[in-house]
């Protein structure tokens, strides 16, 4: 036999899974950076904003570990402690960051412009809304409460500490799908602003969309983005788009407000029998 038949889903989109910081709240994803810089400063090992941002999107303990593995950070650590960071150091940094991150989240919890309108458009399409995050469940309590006050409440939120492993593993997305009682995975769109977001969505076999302007790739507040010279702003956006495309994103848009029209294109792909 030279050919075999293959099942092809041609039904509608059923759900959207969103990230939080840089996607839904906290334009520029500034809260996590401030928290990481603060806890390392308390250890007399200051880190730069770029170092704090590099592992963005993964579980916060994994994020700390990856920072401590950077050559530049290890060098500074050795200058202070005469040894490399240990597992015990990582555990202590993680314990330290929890209250700091909760406080930072409370200060960086405004919805990104266009987010609320996008969610209303998702609801109008009959889509369910789930969310995943590199934050822990404890950290997310403040953020979800603030978002609820502002009119956004997803059907379910899964944090990195509620599954066997956070991004880039697909487990949070699978748990969201189970909570929403929604399948197949190609009927769901995942959207986020970091490379681990993209990897998470692809590993879960979903349509995966990257956000560049409002999130970690730009790493600037809305006012800072708007204040950039046009040529510099476009160059930074170009580099961010390329980075997320190289990670495998099916599409890259500026912000969550650009997602609703894109859903029509994804729906057309499904109708043709295409898969992510």
Q: Is the pTM of this model over 0.85?
A: yes
Of the candidates 259, 15, 273, the residue with the CA atom closest to the CA atom of residue 128:
15
What is the domain extent for residue 55? Answer: 31-107
What is the structure's pLDDT at 105?
81
- Split into its structural domains, the chain has a count of 2
Q: Is 15 in contact with 174 (CB distance < 8 Å)?
A: no
CATH number at residue 40: 1.10.150.240
Chosen domain end from 91, 107, 123: 107
Length of the chain in terms of residues written: 276
Task: Check whether residue 42 and residue 20 sit in a common domain.
Answer: no
What is the structure's pLDDT at 1?
58
Of the candidates 132, 108, 102, 107, the residue with the CA atom closest to the CA atom of residue 39:
102
Is residue 160 in a domain? yes
CATH number at residue 172: 3.40.50.1000
- Give Rg (Cα) of the chain: 19
- Token look-up 């919890």 returns 109
Q: Is 131 helix (H, G, I), strand (E, B) or coil?
A: strand
Backbone angles phi, psi at 128, to 5 degrees: -80, 155
Active site residue 161: no
Of the candidates 12, 44, 1, the residue with the CA atom closest to the CA atom of residue 128:
12
List 14, 26, 43, 60, catalytic entry: 60
Task: Check whether residue 22 and residue 148 sit in a common domain.
Answer: yes
Task: Check whether residue 102 and residue 164 sit in a common domain.
Answer: no
Ordered per-residue pLDDT tens for the chain, 276 residues: 577 778 889 999 999 999 999 999 999 999 889 899 999 999 999 999 999 998 888 888 999 999 999 999 999 999 999 999 999 999 999 999 989 888 888 788 899 999 999 999 999 999 999 999 998 888 888 888 889 998 999 999 999 999 999 999 999 999 999 999 999 999 999 999 999 999 999 999 999 999 999 999 999 999 999 999 999 999 999 999 999 999 999 999 999 999 999 999 999 999 999 999
Is residue 6 in a domain? no
Q: Is 207 helix (H, G, I), strand (E, B) or coil?
A: strand
Chosen domain end from 44, 72, 107: 107
Is residue 7 in a domain? no
List 19, 26, 89, 197, catalytic entry: 19
Is residue 3 in a domain? no
CB 50: neighbour CB atoms within 10 A? 10
Active site residue 43: no
Q: What SS3 string covers 50-113?
A: HHHHCCCCCCHHHHHHHHHCCHHHHHHHHHHHCCCCCHHHHHHHHHHHHHHHHHHHHHCCCECC
Spatial separation of the C-alpha atoms in residues 269 and 259, rounded to whole Å: 15
Is residue 8 in a domain? no
């Amino acid at each position: 036999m030279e050919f075999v038949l293959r099942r092809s889903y041609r039904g509608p989109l059923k759900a959207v899974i969103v990230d939080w910081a840089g996607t839904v709240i906290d334009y520029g994803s500034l809260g996590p950076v401030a928290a990481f810089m603060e806890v390392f400063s308390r250890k007399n090992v200051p880190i730069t904003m770029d170092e704090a941002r590099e592992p963005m999107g993964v579980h916060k303990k994994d994020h700390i570990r990856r920072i401590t593995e950077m050559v530049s950070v290890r060098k500074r650590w050795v200058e202070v402690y005469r040894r490399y960071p240990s597992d015990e150091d990582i555990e202590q940094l993680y314990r330290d960051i929890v209250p700091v991150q909760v406080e930072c989240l409370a200060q960086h919890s405004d919805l990104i412009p266009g987010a609320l309108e996008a969610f209303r458009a998702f609801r109008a399409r009959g889509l369910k809304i789930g969310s995943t995050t590199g934050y822990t469940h404890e950290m997310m309590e403040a953020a979800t409460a603030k978002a609820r006050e502002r009119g956004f409440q997803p059907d379910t939120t899964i944090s990195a500490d509620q599954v066997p492993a956070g991004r880039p593993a697909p487990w949070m997305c699978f748990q969201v799908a189970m909570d929403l009682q929604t399948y197949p995975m190609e009927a769901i769109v995942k959207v986020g602003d970091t490379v681990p977001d993209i990897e998470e969505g692809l590993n879960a076999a979903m349509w995966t969309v990257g956000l560049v302007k409002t999130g970690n790739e730009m790493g600037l507040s809305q006012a800072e983005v708007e204040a950039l010279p046009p040529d510099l702003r476009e160059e930074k956006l170009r580099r961010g788009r390329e980075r997320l495309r190289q990670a495998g994103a099916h599409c890259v848009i500026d912000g969550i407000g650009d997602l609703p029209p894109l859903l029509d294109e994804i729906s057309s792909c499904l109708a043709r029998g295409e898969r992510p």
